[in-house]
Every structure is written in C-alpha cells, then in structure tokens.
Structure 1
C-alpha cells in the first residue's frame, strides 16, 4: 500500500500516487462500532472480469484527458493472473475466482499518477484505468525493507525516514514483508478482521514515502501464528479467507513492478490448497516465473515475501536477491537448529522493525537471535546489490555478520570475520578487529553508505572453546565497539582439570528403547523410555574445558529437553546455538551441545559500547 503524510513536504514521486490512495481506500468499508458477529456486514464479491486502459497521464492529474495515449506492454495483475496491455494500452483480465483488487505492474522509467491498485465493484467491471508518467530513474537505486512490525507501523513511519536523512540518494520507496499485526484471525470473527485490517491501512496513510507491502502469516485469515486454526468448507468460501481481508481492506497481497531496471516481485504468506497451506503454492510459483521472465535476462530481480522457508526459489529461479521476515532473525537464513545457511547466499531475513527500547524499563529490545530491532537499507548498483541491517536508534551502527552468533566455527588453521559499519557521511577514521584482545589485520571496503570489513583470523595457537571478537571503529565523537563471543573448534584441547564432578539435568522424553548420553565421547549413563526429570553425574576426569554432549537414541523423536550442565555451583547452557528461531536447549540424536567451563553462557546480546 502507498500512504503519505499530509503536509507541504509531499512532492515528487509520492505526491500524485498518494493523493490517489484516498480513492482506493475509500472503496473498503470504514471501521464500524462492534456488532454482533452474526450480523456484521460481509461484502459480496462477484467480479471475475475486469478491463481498462493504462495511459500516459501527461499532466499527472490522475485522470485520462483528451490526447493522452495508451501504453502497450504494461502488466496488470489479479489473483496471480497477469494481463498485458495491447498497443492501445487496453487490457482484459478474467479470473475463475472473485477479484478483490487489481494492481498495476508499472515498468521502469514510469511512476503511477493514479493509485497503483483498485478494487472493482460488480460482476464485470469496465474502465478500470491506470495513469503513468515518465520518471527519471537511474542506479544506484535505494530502498528500505521493514518487516514484522507487529503493531508499530505508525511509529516506523515517523522514525525510520528521520534516521536516513544523510542518505543521498534518498530511498525511492519502502517495502514491508509481512506481520504488521498479530494474533490468530478467523472469518468467524469478522469485526476483529475489520478493526485489524482497517488499522493497518490507516497507519500507512501517513507514511512519508511510497510503501509497498505484503501480508505475513498473522494477516492470513485462517492461518494465524501457527497454522493450527480449524478450517471448514464454509470458511473456504468466505471472501475474507486467506489473503481476502488483506486485499479488501489494505492492498494487493501480491504484486510486481520495475524501477531503474530492477524487477520487484512480491507475494504474501501462501494459499490454502487441497486441505493444507502452501507457502508458496504451485500457482504462486508459476506466477513468479512469469514475472521474472517479463523482466528480461539482464535485469536485477528482487523477491519480497514473508516466509524464508522456501527461499530456495531465489537461487533456483535465478533471482538476484530474496528479502524475507517471519523468523525474527537477521542475516542469511538458517533453518531451526542448522549450523550453516541452507538456502544460499541470496536469501536474507531482516529481524524485527520495532522500537529499540522497552517503554517501561528502557532496556534494548532484540530479535530471537540477539540482533537488535531494525530495518534493511538496500542499494542496487549496476553490478551488485548491497544491504545493511540498520539497528534502530543506534547512531554508531556496527555489525559483526560472520561468523553468526550461534554458529560453531570449525577452524583448525583460520576463519574469516566479516561485518559492516554504517557511515553515510564518511566520518569513520579507523577500524580494528580484535580476537581475545589481539589485533588482526583488517581489510576495509567502502560502500555507498557504509563500509564492509573482513579479517582472516589465525587459530593455530588457539584451543577449542569460546573466544571474543571485537570490532572497534572511531568516529569524531569517540571510539565505539561491539564484542561478541563465538565457539571456535580448532581441534586442540586446552589444559583443564575439573575440581569436581558435574551434573547434567534435563527433562526426558525418550521414545521406545533407552537412550545413552555421551560426554566427550564417553557414555555417562542411560535414560530409559520415559518422560520426566533426569539428572546424570559427569565424573571429574571426564570433563574438559569444552565439553561436547550427544544423545544416542534409536528413535529420532527421543529428546532431552531444557538441558543444563551444573558445575561448581554454576549453571551452564548450550553455547552452540543461541536464541535462534525455533531453537530450544533440547538434545536429540541429530544434534549436539557444547559447554565451555570457562564461559557459562548464554552469549551476551548485541550492544554498542563507547571504548574506554
């Protein structure tokens, strides 16, 4: 959806588009006082065919005047079906499903003067026209991704543009990749739907730049937070089921357009097909193929969606980049419990776009992986696409991106440390990388608004265990640093003599046959098929500085849950993977845990500190 702040500053790209938004939104019913759910007014959606003209709106007045010619070759989308205008600018689009909203896939070098989407009324709608003007566009193209705002849309609109005033060029537009609200919405509570989606639409009307967005699972009616809402045949026939309410109240759930030679393709959560949710469905995958091919072979292409679980389509379909949300983690996508990114180098998730501090305590807020809340700045150059995850409310933004916080580094000789420093005014004078306080030679590569750094860290004199990596940068107002601990497996054991035995405590859920627990390859006990608390002693001679714990179990469903190692009065938590989406301190036969007796864990969260 595109919205705007109504003040004298609205000019250029946003103004004509945003003025037209009021017309598009007016079609959707306004919020009404609470009604009995059985009597709430539900729309009757009958439109299955729509036609119109896409034309040059030379005077940008939002209506077709005499002499304004049609434009051929422009794509118009509804229900994952696409019609292309003929030489006179005419299109005709039919669908076997009701059409709630139709969107304009405007090409590079143009920008809408009307709303880029419209809601048809009636069974067969004629004359749904779209206006375009010529627009100067060139690389670099800058845009901003927000995601998982969960009720903070208006706040983001007031805050993020103000943080980016030093960028030149300014962001052309903003995108939101889902989960703008929360909860478990169902068609059986239509007034809840009306209130929730009308609030989302209202928040975006005041955004100070063009905004395009898609729904997440929380805006997919009938799915909700976990996809466990019971669905019957009557639900499936409801016009607001799935993405229906989003499209009726807010904007299209899927869309595409081109800008400065870059193709943008976006879809929401998915579709309910053959008794289950498909994210994405085969229909969506075919539509992505059509839109990608329409962009041409030499154009950058960016996929925008909520769920990164099928981020493999970014690589398989030859797209340049995929930007997602959903996992409340930031960076290359890791499936729950995985140690390495499993969907390639082009699939990025972008944390959570929410206020940086708790309003009551003032404490910094974090996503599930310990990253701060933030948003992603994307710069498309002719030969590359660069991105920076900007922590909200942090004037000295420093990121350690590689290794990941929860990734064990198997490095008998060396590993690479990589990160970024946000520096649009080029004020940073010195960058240092230190490992356990030891300075490492660092290569710094300036980008348009930030600098990338990398350092090769030698490990030949390091023992297996946790080590701290510090990135330090100097601004005119002082030196600032970020320090994070990492588990480094060098294959060398440090000298360590345990003063006493330790205990491994957990809640057992052992299926079928008994399971054995191994510490550093030595069995310390057997857990029978059972459910309940268990406590196993680890003899002092079996302990090392870094202790690896495994579970040998015939059943893949067997697990030790909420595992803690107790040593010398101190509880130790698994330090192998920290706060990753969907990860709990549970031990299965397919996983392992690490406990460093010199580092209790869990790891500290991201924090910028002023250097002493």
Structure 2
C-alpha cells in the first residue's frame, strides 16, 4: 500500500509551511485536473476538513490548519458542486494518511510508515455539475470468505450493474469481506467494474482482531480505503459515514458491540455545525441502530446521544446492513427521537444474501435468499433536494419484482381451509397498504403479520426432505419476516384456475403489483 500513499502525496503537492503541531494546506479548484495547484488556480473558501475529531473551514484563500497527531488521517469533506479525483480502482481520493511510524505489527498488514509530514497537505477539487435530483447505489455486506465467494459477488451482483449510467457514486455498508482481510484487494477489483466512484465503510468482519484498542481495529481497512469516519456532500444531501463497531466490546473485552467512541462523537458534532439545517443528513453505518428481538446489539446511550446531535435537522435517514435481512425502523419520542416526525432507519438487504447459501442458479451462483424471505440484492437511493425514496432491486430479477406471493396450488371446492395467500413485500413495513383480489373482483385488505415466510420455509426444508444431495449449501433456518401479509383464499368459486392479484403501496406512495393463481377442484371423497 505504500505505493498508494506516495501517489497521494504527489497529487496533494507541497506549497506552504505549517507549524510543527499543526497540519496545514490549501483546498483549491483544480481546473486542469492535474492534481496540482497551478498558476491561476484559486483556493476555495469555506470547505470543511477534518482530522477525525476536529473540523475546520478553509479561509478566503482556501487555506486551513488542523491539530496534528502521530496517528491521523486528514480528509476533505467534499462540498456540493465539486468532485474529488479517484484512483485506478475508482476509490475517491479525499484523504491523506499521516502515520510516521506506520501501523503496529498485525496479522493483516496496515499502513506502511508515511514519514515526515509534508509542509502542505493540499486537496484538489474539480468543478462538477451536480444535480439535486440524483440516485446513489448501495450494497449491503458483500462478505466473501473465499475467492470463490468474491466471484459469486462479482458475477451475481456487480456484473448486473457494470457500466451503470446516471448514478454518480456507490457505497458499500460494511462487511466488505469475511474476516480474511487479504480479500480486500479482490473485493476492490470486483467493485471497480461497476465503473463509478465507490465509497466504503467498516464492518465487524473487516476489522483487525489482534488488537487491544478499538482505535487500532481499522488499520488494514485504512491502508486500503482511508478513514473509517468521513463525510461528503452531494446536492442538498450530507453523507456521514461512520464506523459503529466497538472492538473489543468495552463491557468484557470480547467480541464487538454497536456504538461510537468519544472522538467519533466529537467528529459528528463538529461536522454537523457546518451542515445547513434544511439539508438531508444521511448517516451510513454497519450495525443497525435498532435492536431486533430485544438483543442488546447497540449501546443505548450512544443512540440517544446521536439523536441529540440530530435534533435540529428535520430531514434525516440512516442506513445499515449487518443482519442479512431487510427491515424498516421508525424511531419516535419513545425511542429517544426528539422531533415530531419519526426518524427512518433502513436496514438494507445484502448482496451476499444468506451468506451465499441455497440452490445454485443457471449461472452456478447461490440464490442466497435471506432468512426473512428477502432475495439478495441492492438498493437505489433516489434524492430530490432534501427528500428521498428507495428502490430495492432483487439480483437477477426485473425491477418490478418487489413481492413474493405464496398460495396453495389447489384447494377443494366448498371446503373451509386454513391455507392462505401470503405476500412478502420486500420493502414493506407495518402500516403499508397491501390489497388482493381474485378474478378482477373486489379489492380486499390483507392482514399484516410477523411470521415465517412460507415460500422461504419451503425452500429451506427441501434440503432436509431430499434423498439426494443438491449442489450448494443449505440455507439458514427461517426467522419471522417483518414484511409479510396474509389473505384468506376463497374455495366457494367455480372449479378451475383463478387469478390472484396483489397491489401494495409502499411508504413513499409507490404502487407495486404482483400476481399468482390457484386451482379449485372437486373434493375427493
């Protein structure tokens, strides 16, 4: 990684003198895009920069100063209307690593010694025509444990969006790999093929486990991706990317816990001071703020403190992955949210799905449906000013595939049955309206329920009922889905085939349709 760091120094250049206990430099408008501040190129004022704790703004000449330490990353918080250069792997170059002595000796290497601090750490910003109406692409948990699983990710997910247009950047929500940090480079090479600038964040499977302090758990991540906590702007949206994995767990020194260190809270607070209150703040993290099934996965006081810092921002969204399910959470006053409108936290379905399990598809890639019945896939975040909506895209399926319908194949005419029509509405949440009708009849409400998705149950237990081994690996046992609806199935119609139609309206007002059929037959006495 030393080659990468040296290249970064060359791009930043050396232009002015800084005090020994300060890092200093200039943020400038790079008109000719050569990474150097040439004659005629001017500094840019009021651009935010951070050392991971303090945040400062450039002066009228584009100059800044930040406190210096022996283990520090200086990063520019990209303002709207500009872009930063990207390296050959499409990773945005918005930071400078200062580790004179390098990372500690670790199982997976970290940053090589960076040597003496340059007299000036300068950042080039390139003018860019940014629209307030834009879409970003989000991956949850690629999490390959082997090169074969990197290939599954590349062939089953990346290939589908390779060369995508009108999407200015993408973001992976952690667990970029599965504990083997030597897979960072294969992961980077895979995501490079999407062809757009790609941001990343740290997950619990991306950390250095052979450390005693949380501040050192991201050394290998830093060597490949830069700071684990950073921010950038696009249009009227402020993105705040955070490492919320506390390792080792401060309670017992074992495992990990969701939450933030004090220096991270100082960064968040200092960063938000420079964000207009009418902008949308999007927080991206790995471990969700919610705690499914009452398990203590996130430090409560940290969530409350984060909500305190966001109390004056009426437009917010937070993102996570980690759980390998898809879930919508809404935090209100009872959960510590300090505004009238609840805060939306979206736990995104994963690109690895159920950890690359399940039957193999026609391309010999595991179908990997998640335990709540959500197929593996990725999300598009659509922004319009400070408003947003979300589309979940199931890998390998048309964009309009937003529901899985389960119904019996045949029922006996005139006989009561406990069978039903089940709809797994992947982006759904309690309160959404899901309707069904039979044969163009009257639309009826379906009942929301938290239950096992029968279509996933059928898929899993096929592995246990078969008498011959199948290619691939058995899927995980089902868990109760939080986006499942049920309707009664009529048996008093004429014998023959009957059409089922489903109409679901999501939280953004988008209407989605699906269909299925069943058959009514004369009962066998």
Q: Aligned pair in 2 of structure 1 residues 61, 123: CA closer, same or farther (>3 Å)?
A: closer
TM-superposed CA distance for 1:361, in Å, is 3.4
CA distance in 1, matches of 2:168, 2:378: 15
2:24–2:120 CA contact under 8 A, matched in 1: yes
Q: Which has the higher contact order (CA 8 A, sep 6+)?
A: 2
1:103 aligns with 2:102: no
Q: How far has the Cα of 1:57 moved from its partner?
A: 0.6
> Which of 237, 240, 243 in structure 2 is aligned with 1:262?
237
Please name the residue that 2:166 is paired with: 170
| Residues 567-610 of structure 1: per-residue CA shift (max 9 Å, x gap) | xxxxxxxxxx95159xxxxxxxxxxxxxxxxxxxxxxxxxx887
Give yes or no for contact 1:81–1:95 (8 Å, CA) kept in 2: no
Over 3 Å counting, the alpha-carbon distance change for 1:391 and 1:465 in structure 2 is closer
Q: Is 1:116–2:94 an aligned residue pair? A: yes
CA distance in 1: counterparts of 2:325 and 2:162, whole angstroms: 26
Q: 1:372 aligns with which of 375, 393, 411?
A: 375
CA deviation map 1:345-387 (0-9, x unaligned): 5101112113797697336311232211111111012362100
Other-structure match for 2:348: 350
- Closer/same/farther in 2, CA of residues 333 and 94 from structure 1, 3 Å limit: same
Deviations 1:190-244 (A, max 9, x none): xx65x3444444444444100011110111223xxxxxx8x6xxx449x8x3112
Structure 2 unaligned runs (5+)?
A: 10-19, 87-92, 99-113, 252-256, 290-297, 405-422, 428-432, 458-476, 482-513, 519-525
Matching residue of 2:259: 279
- Distance of 1:154 and 1:131 partners within structure 2: 35
Post-superposition offset of 1:269: 3.1
User: How big is the shift at 1:323?
Assistant: 0.9
1:323-334 to 2 correspondence within 5 Å? 323-333=319-329
Provide the rounded CA distance (Å) in 2 between the counterparts of 1:297 and 1:384.
Answer: 13
**Structure 2 length normalisation: TM-score?**
0.60
Unaligned 5+ runs, structure 1 = 1-20, 29-46, 184-191, 223-228, 402-416, 422-430, 442-454, 470-482, 486-576, 582-607
Find the aligned partners of 1:418 and 1:465 in 2 and give their Cα distance: 11
Aligned counterpart in structure 2 of residue 242 of structure 1, from 188, 195, 217: 217
Find the residue that maps to 1:386 and give its secondary structure.
strand
Structure 2 partner of 1:212: 199
SS of 1:86's partner is coil
Q: Which residue number in structure 2 is paired with residue 389 of structure 1?
A: 392
Q: Residues 354 and 467 from structure 1, CA distance in 2 versus in 1: closer, same or farther, beyond 3 angstroms?
A: closer
- Aligned with residue 270 of structure 2, among 282, 286, 290: 290
SS at match of 1:390: strand
Deviation (angstroms), 1:105: 0.7
Q: C-alpha separation between the residues in 2 aligned to 1:202 and 1:484? A: 33
Partner of 1:398: 401
**1:140 is aligned to 2:130:** no
Distance across 2 between alignment mates of 1:458 and 1:368: 21
Report the counterpart of residue 579 of structure 1 in structure 2. Answer: 479
Across the aligned residues of Structure 1 and Structure 2, the Cα RMSD in angstroms comes to 4.6
The structure in which a higher percent of residues are strand is 1
* Kept in 1: contact 2:237–2:385 (CA 8 A): no
Number of residues of Structure 1 aligned to a counterpart in Structure 2: 379
The Cα shift of 1:63 comes to: 1.6
Does residue 124 of structure 2 align to residue 131 of structure 1?
yes
Cα distance in 2 between the residues matched to 1:297 and 1:465: 37
- Among candidates 259, 280, 283, match of residue 303 of structure 1: 283
| TM superposition shift of 1:271 | 4.5
Does the CA-based 8 Å contact 1:178-1:215 persist in structure 2? yes
Distance 1:236 1:165 in 2: 38
Separation in 1, partners of 2:155, 2:172: 15
SS of the residue corresponding to residue 269 of structure 2 reads helix
For 1:57, the equivalent position in structure 2 comes to 30
Query: What is the alpha-carbon distance in structure 2 between the residues aligned to residue 293 and residue 364 of structure 1?
Result: 45
Kept in 2: contact 1:328–1:368 (CA 8 A): yes
> Residue 156 and residue 68 in structure 1: after superposition, are their counterparts in 2 closer, same or farther (change >3 A)?
farther
